[in-house]
Structure 1
Amino acid sequence: MSRPTPPVSESPTAVQEVADLLADAAASGKSCPPIRSLVSAGDISTAYAVQRLNNERRIAEGHRLVGRKIGLTSEAVQRQLGVDQPDFGALLSDMVLPQDGRVPFGRLLQPKVEAEVALVLNADLPDADCTVDDVIAATEYALPALEIVDSRIADWDITFVDTVADNASSGLYVLGDQRVSLDEVDLAAVSMSLSKNGDVASEGTGAACLGSPLNAALWLARTLAELGDPLRAGDVVLTGALGPMVAAAPGDVFAASISRLGDVSVRFAPEPAGEGGSNE
């Protein structure tokens, strides 16, 4: 698995322009065109610079960095986007919902739900040559999680630089209540079932996430340490989807069960009476 590509351009003008475009889409509730016309396909550094700028803006507004999410952990999706690595985004304090919480109507533009394993750390991971054993030692517990991904880019028409710039297509997330020590579970062997309105909509296993959610967490720990911004004690890490993501609409109810880890659910508020139109 490769690490992020070294800097290519990071033009301040391009970073500012793309960051403003994505921020305006989030604020207005109206999605924007793909940003790859402004950031070339190989300029991953500029895409991450856009992500960093918009996250710094949100932190300046009073939100806290509480962890990281890993995306593109499926090799099939990586091939589809023409890359050989996952990506990562920031989790901020306003992104978390309580177990069986409710997504307010209009909060997201074009949400999709995926089930995954979350890790909560109790130690820093500062070394770029850390091992899986280091990740295990730094993990306080694992939980079942739902990530509600979103895209500020119209119709999910994304390439790698599009999703990286857009904070790895982040939205909201929900953590289950059951906390499980890693010495009690083999994360590669867990099975997942995600239902939508009572019907099974997605299934998968821990092995679908880069062979194991721990492999994904190791990639993230090494990558962030190499970039000088390592994972810290207290961070939440969403390790990546265990199965296909599922589109969500107002009024939908999602529930996931991950073997040995437990259950987690979320509800989408129904469309208010008299509302209409589209956020896309």
Structure 2
Amino acid sequence: MNDAALDHIGDALYEAWSSRRVMTPISGSMPDLTIDHAYRIQQRMVARRIAQGEHVIGKKIGVTSKVVQQMLNVHQPDFGILLSGMQYEDGAEIPMESLIQPRAEGEIAFFLKEDLCGPGVTITQVMDATKEVAACFEIVDSRIRDWNIRIQDTVADNASCGVFVIGKDRVDAQTIDLAVCGMVIEKNGEVVATGAGAAALGHPANAVAWLANELGARGIPLKAGEPILSGSLAPLIPVTAGDSLRMRIGGIGACSVSFK
């Protein structure tokens, strides 16, 4: 598959994002599309947004937990690029017209004190390089109609990135056990999901190590100071206008977001 064909798909995904419209699954009409092809498409989509004034501020890993893999019928992790237009402040009210078919994920965000670049990055190296962690909502949002995705579709669609919100509380990752810290999410005042750090590939730092190694194979580092979203700890939560979400992760802190 040549670069022009891949760029054409990346442009179509960018236009779907820009116009807030969905498109049919890419994999359905392109059975020979590989994951490497899909990442090449992702690069084009991201480049189109950067050309319009955004810039890279972080990275994310997606589809890390078994419950999310089962919900989406995608059974391996992927990664996406976080751009400046995706970040909202803790407690923000996000306009629904900026999204298409959003779902919320509760995650742990990492902030490094030094760069990491794979291959060969271990969970121990991630923990040694981590300055602090925070509670985080990622609002994933697929440009593929009805979330009818295979791994190639979500990879091409920048790992279904939508927007994200990071809590104000940040703590030293060395002071808590990230594998067992518990998370509770409330939607409109009622508990709708619970989880623990181990849901993200057994340990959220293990998810970050996976990300560092996958990006490193493509010559991309995890940079000190940038947010790194380590993957959902609970099932995806659909949201509509009027909804409010609040989460707390034991030993880390809280995060909230609402939709209008």
Same-fold call, TM cutoff 0.5: yes
What residue number does 1:106 align with?
A: 97
TM-score calculated relative to the size of structure 1: 0.88
1:145-174 Cα offsets, whole Å, 9 max, x none, are 000010111111111111001110110000
What residue number does 2:248 align with?
A: 257
1:9-44 Cα offsets, whole Å, 9 max, x none, are 4x2233122112211211212211111134436600
Verify: 1:19 aligned to 2:10, yes or no: yes
The residue type equivalent to 1:170 in the other structure is C
SS in 1 for 2:4: helix
Would you say the 8 A contact 1:68–1:88 is kept in 2?
yes
Q: Could you tell me which of 184, 188, 199 is aligned with 1:193?
A: 184
Aligned mates of 1:82, 1:268 — CA distance in 2: 27
Aligned mates of 2:70, 2:236 — CA distance in 1: 17
1:71-220 correspondence runs (5 A)? 71-78=62-69, 85-220=76-211
1:83-133 Cα offsets, whole Å, 9 max, x none, are 653100000011000000011130000111110100011211123112222
Deviation at 1:80, TM superposition (A): 7.0
Would you say the 8 A contact 1:39–1:47 is kept in 2?
no
The residue type equivalent to 2:245 in the other structure is F
Verify: 1:237 aligned to 2:228, yes or no: yes
Would you say the 8 A contact 1:63–1:94 is kept in 2?
yes
Structure 2: gaps of 5 or more residues: none
Say what the alpha-carbon RMSD is for the aligned residues: 1.6
Aligned mates of 1:145, 1:83 — CA distance in 2: 22
The residue type equivalent to 1:230 in the other structure is P
SS in 1 for 2:251: coil
How has the CA–CA distance of structure 1 residues 83 and 106 changed in structure 2, closer, same or farther, with 3 Å as cutoff? closer
Deviation at 1:203, TM superposition (A): 1.0
Structure 1: gaps of 5 or more residues: 1-8, 270-280
Deviation at 1:77, TM superposition (A): 4.4
| Greater Cα shift, 234-243 or 125-134 | 125-134
Aligned mates of 1:110, 1:121 — CA distance in 2: 31
Identical columns (%): 42
Aligned mates of 2:67, 2:107 — CA distance in 1: 17
Aligned mates of 1:13, 1:37 — CA distance in 2: 19
The number of aligned residues is: 260
Aligned mates of 1:241, 1:121 — CA distance in 2: 19
| Greater Cα shift, 242-251 or 26-35 | 26-35
Would you say the 8 A contact 1:252–1:267 is kept in 2?
yes
Would you say the 8 A contact 1:130–1:222 is kept in 2?
yes
Deviation at 1:78, TM superposition (A): 4.0
Q: Could you tell me which of 211, 214, 220 is aligned with 1:223?
A: 214
Deviation at 1:201, TM superposition (A): 1.2
